Amino acid sequence: MSRRRSPGRPGRDSEDLRCTLIDAALTCYTREGVAATSIKAIAAEAGVTPALLHYYFGSRDQLRQAVIDDRILPLIQAVQEKVHGAGEDVAALIGAFMDAMNAAVTANPWWPALWVREVLCEGGALREVLIEKVGRTFLQAFVQRFAAAQQRGELNGALDPRLLLVSLLGLTLFPAAGAAVWRKLLDADDLGPAEQQKHTAALLERGLELRHGL
Amino acid sequence: MSRRRSPGRPGRDSEDLRCTLIDAALTCYTREGVAATSIKAIAAEAGVTPALLHYYFGSRDQLRQAVIDDRILPLIQAVQEKVHGAGEDVAALIGAFMDAMNAAVTANPWWPALWVREVLCEGGALREVLIEKVGRTFLQAFVQRFAAAQQRGELNGALDPRLLLVSLLGLTLFPAAGAAVWRKLLDADDLGPAEQQKHTAALLERGLELRHGL
DNA sequence: CAGAAATTTAATTAATTTTTAAATTAATTA
DNA sequence: TAATTAATTTAAAAATTAATTAAATTTCTG
């Protein structure tokens, strides 16, 4: 945070400030939402002046675009690639997706909250980007493979193949986005990604196993 | 939206304007987030002047509180009561919860997006309200009943009882919050609450039924 | 018809934010 | 080592915007 310094060019031990600034922007976006975040707030978060953000990015909009280009798109691409590398089998596909999501979330804790806020919600700042850039093809590839697997009897036929990926997102992104809330409500500091992962896998593999049915 | 009229007291056909104003506030909160919503924006949404909002509610904060008291708390209470009315059986409990959520979401389409934004996310405006007012007891009651059911062998023992309600929320609120996105991505206007409900029930009851396991 | 109620117009106040320009210091280069 | 360039801050300007208040307007009610 506050790293107040005097004016003038910094010494050669300069950390990568651009990176720090983008981190600060992500923190603010996550905490307040993209729409409600001013460059003043980002500057405060980074312990720097608004003028510097101008120097680096030009304007508020360009800064937002930089955050998208530098952080968000690569993240999605990483997930896409891991999934792409999975073989023919649906189980492998789903497993790869869940693993990729868990890895992405663990490495980028800001991601889930930002996602639910700015992609899921009407008026979200990342909606267009994601939907047009990656969403459609990504989602539809899954839908087709799910449907094919159902026909081969390798996947619960009562599921709607179009909704399954949505369910998987709901079981990964949603719990991760609320992690702080759950931990507080449950007084459970030990409740980490590992427990979450195990629980979700159990639910997906076997369902609730109710004796009487819903 | 715009219902421009001249100054002065309106005719006696007056709809319940207070209600309209609160609706407009909800719309803006949902679209832009509570923090980023000005009373000016709400006034525009309702086709009314900012001064009128003052006349009705006193201030921006009081308006927010009115939205919470008039709309959000009753909604949660309704869910709570329906769940409370469910019998001993876990299956009945879970079924009642899912039904109550689906009903609440169908009747109040703004609810899921507002929830993920303002409860789930750090800095959300409804976080404290919900967590302190209803969250803890509600959640813990579920946890205990889940754990008891597991001991009786009536519920998949590999699940984490603390995380199951989170999963259920992730399978209801999350898909509902993104409904517009999914529909657009899938070119599926027919994809409504009924399909969603059926799909989720199938997933919960039987899991994925993969041949090879995850 | 008189007074109260519901609205808008218009003005005030206040704050805030983005952006620009100038000043300062350190590094690099010739 | 002097001159230039780069990275920062300070300070100020410019623009926008928001919340709130006061006054004016119209319609209803008694």
**How many domains is chain A partitioned into structurally?**
2
Query: How many Å apart are B52 CA and D19 C1'?
Result: 13
* Statement to judge: residues B86 and B115 lie in one domain: yes
CA of B55 vs chain A CAs: smallest distance (Å): 26
* Statement to judge: residues A138 and A84 lie in one domain: yes
Task: Give, in degrees to the nearest 5, the angle at Cα B206 between B76 and A97.
Answer: 85
- Over range B32-52, report the average pLDDT: 91
Q: What is the pLDDT of residue A86?
A: 85
Compute the mean pLDDT over every residue in chain B, rounded to the nearest whole number. 88
CB < 7 A to strand D: residues 5-34, chain A:
5-10, 14, 17
- What tokens appear for A40 in the block? 């003043």
Q: What is the pLDDT of residue A121?
A: 83
Q: Which domain holds residue A146?
A: 72-206
Residue B191 falls within a domain, yes or no?
yes
Residue A6 falls within a domain, yes or no?
no
How does pLDDT run across A142-179, given as a tens digit for each residue?
999 999 999 999 999 999 999 999 999 999 999 999 99
* Statement to judge: residues B83 and B108 lie in one domain: yes
For the cut 60, the answer to whether the pLDDT of residue B8 exceeds it is no
Question: Across the interface, do B199 and A139 touch by the CB < 8 Å criterion?
Answer: no
- Over range A71-79, report the average pLDDT: 90
- Over range B114-123, report the average pLDDT: 87
* Statement to judge: residues A32 and A86 lie in one domain: no
* Statement to judge: residues B191 and B118 lie in one domain: yes
Question: Across the interface, do B163 and A196 touch by the CB < 8 Å criterion?
Answer: yes
- Three-state SS at A123: coil
Q: What is the pLDDT of residue A5?
A: 52
Q: What is the pLDDT of residue B146?
A: 95
For the cut 80, the answer to whether the pLDDT of residue A2 exceeds it is no
How does pLDDT run across B47-65, given as a tens digit for each residue?
999 999 999 999 999 999 9
- Over range B103-129, report the average pLDDT: 89
Question: Across the interface, do B117 and A205 touch by the CB < 8 Å criterion?
Answer: no
CA of B98 vs chain A CAs: smallest distance (Å): 10
Q: Is the CB of residue B110 less than 8 Å from the CB of residue B30?
A: yes
Residue B7 falls within a domain, yes or no?
no
Residue A167 falls within a domain, yes or no?
yes
* Statement to judge: residues B158 and B198 lie in one domain: yes
Q: What is the pLDDT of residue B4?
A: 45
**pLDDT band at residue A14 under the 50/70/90 scheme:** low
For the cut 50, the answer to whether the pLDDT of residue B88 exceeds it is yes
Greater pLDDT, B82 or A121: B82
- What tokens appear for A117 in the block? 């806020």
Share of chain B above pLDDT 70, in %: 93
For the cut 60, the answer to whether the pLDDT of residue A4 exceeds it is no
Task: Tell me which residue of B38, B4, B46, B40 sits closest to B22, measured CA to CA.
Answer: B46
Neighbours of A4 (CB within 10 A): 7
Residue B201 falls within a domain, yes or no?
yes
Share of chain A above pLDDT 90, in %: 56
How many angstroms separate the CA atoms of A49 and B39, rounded?
30
* Statement to judge: residues B138 and B172 lie in one domain: yes
Number of residues assigned to chain B: 214
* Statement to judge: residues A103 and A146 lie in one domain: yes
Q: What is the pLDDT of residue B3?
A: 42
Positive or negative, the CA dihedral A142, A147, A153, A158 is positive
